[in-house]
Amino acid sequence: MVTDDARVEAARGRALVEESREVVLVLDAAHRVVAASRRAREELPSVEPGEPVPEELLVGENALLVEYEVDGHRETLVYLGRPGELRAYEELRAGFTAAVSHELRTPLARLMALLETALLPGEDPRAVIEQATGQVDQIRELIDEVLFLSELETGREVVALGQVRVREVLDEVAATLEERAIRADVAIHTEGNPGLELPMRARMLRVVVENLAENALRYAGPRSELTLSVAREDGSLVLTARDTGTGVSDADLPRLFERFYRADRARASRGTGLGLAIVKHIVTSGGGTVEASRGDAGGLEIRAVF
């Protein structure tokens, strides 16, 4: 008799295979297909249940085979990757880990130095604590953004879910950042038709606009202006962040959306170097494109087209 627990486990196993984002196959002892993930069926249309899998798919560094036994029957779980995919992923993961470690090391070193300074005779503990708090805030911001980016990449944050009026989000972000804008001596303006909507979660759009605005507040420089606008152009919805600040060099423009990349003049800033990378990930996940260029009046212009 099949117990309820066994049925639950069987259903869970089928769901794990079916919904996997990888190319996953379950084979019997004769290497015939017992089950396949949705992605496997999409990428390997010639592989059908009950049919044998070509042996060339099961050899080489791109195939991971896990053999096991179920109720006296031998089966094989197969994970398939594209040529070089695993190596490329490992290189990306190692590089990302190294970058995170490097970015954390700097504020941690400053924090240690401040704590040591606080122990010296004649030092003002309150002033040192305020500086140390700033370093802790920077570490927390970096960790939060790394975790958020990780959630985006693993699909835990659905981007294109819902409908949001873009101008409302622009106005909300401008109001929220008003005090910071005054301190940075940057004037924020918003433009666009209030009725324009984007098929995206409001939170996701807010993250995009906040990161675009904060990028300008950090790097545009005093007496600059930032305009956040939305418009319909040639059938596409275009979200633009345009500032009149100091801009970036031609060499820096193509790299602005890289993780942890900061132009030379920006390295002294408290920024994490992840803001624009998050913008790009959300925009592309929502079916759009994003690019940076020099503004007509100088400064930096970032356009997201949906």
Domain 4-80: homologous superfamily in CATH: PAS domain (3.30.450.20)
**5: Cβ–Cβ under 8 A, 6 or more apart, which residues?**
none
Report the sign of the C-alpha dihedral through residues 56, 59, 62, 66, in that order: positive
- The residues that bridge with 63 in the sheet, in sequence order, are 80
- Whether pLDDT at 231 is above 80: yes
Residue type, 133: T
- Whether pLDDT at 224 is above 50: yes
Cα–Cα distance between 74 and 186 in angstroms, integer?
67
Structure-block tokens of residue 236: 């596409």
Structure-block tokens of residue 275: 């803001």
Structure-block tokens of residue 170: 């622009």
171 vs 99: which has the higher pLDDT: 171
Cα–Cα distance between 157 and 148 in angstroms, integer?
8
DSSP category for residue 3: -
Of 103-117, 122-136, 275-289, highest mean pLDDT: 275-289
Confidence of residue 148 (pLDDT cuts 50, 70, 90): low
For residue 60, how many other CB atoms are within 10 A of its CB?
Answer: 10
Q: What is the pLDDT of residue 126?
A: 81
**CATH number for domain 164-305, candidates 3.40.50.150, 1.10.274.10, 3.50.50.60, 3.30.565.10:** 3.30.565.10
DSSP line for 80-119: E--TTHHHHHHHHHHHHHHHHHHHHHHHHHHHHHHHHHHT
Q: Where in the chain is the domain with CATH 1.10.287.130?
A: 85-153
- Whether pLDDT at 226 is above 70: yes
Q: What is the pLDDT of residue 151?
A: 62
Q: Are 270 and 183 in contact (CB under 8 A)?
A: no
Among 134-148, 151-165, 231-245, the minimum mean pLDDT is found in 151-165
For the full predicted model, state whether its pTM sits above 0.95: no
Q: What is the mean pLDDT of residues 236-246?
A: 92
Q: What is the mean pLDDT of residues 191-216?
A: 90
- Whether pLDDT at 96 is above 80: no
Pairing mode, strands 236-243 and 224-233 = antiparallel
**CATH number for domain 85-153, candidates 3.40.1280.10, 1.10.3720.10, 1.10.3210.10, 1.10.287.130:** 1.10.287.130
239 vs 23: which has the higher pLDDT: 239
Q: What is the mean pLDDT of residues 279-304?
A: 86
Q: Where in the chain is the domain with CATH 3.30.450.20?
A: 4-80
- Whether pLDDT at 55 is above 70: yes
Q: What is the mean pLDDT of residues 239-243?
A: 94
b (16+ CB within 10 A) / e for 105-116: eebeebbeebee
| pLDDT digits 0-9 by tens, 256-269 | 888 666 554 444 45
Among 103-107, 181-185, 196-200, the minimum mean pLDDT is found in 103-107
- Whether pLDDT at 101 is above 80: no
- Whether pLDDT at 144 is above 90: no
Among 112-116, 165-169, 210-214, 302-306, the minimum mean pLDDT is found in 112-116
Confidence of residue 166 (pLDDT cuts 50, 70, 90): very high
- Whether pLDDT at 219 is above 60: yes
- Whether pLDDT at 93 is above 90: no
- Whether pLDDT at 16 is above 90: no
Confidence of residue 122 (pLDDT cuts 50, 70, 90): confident
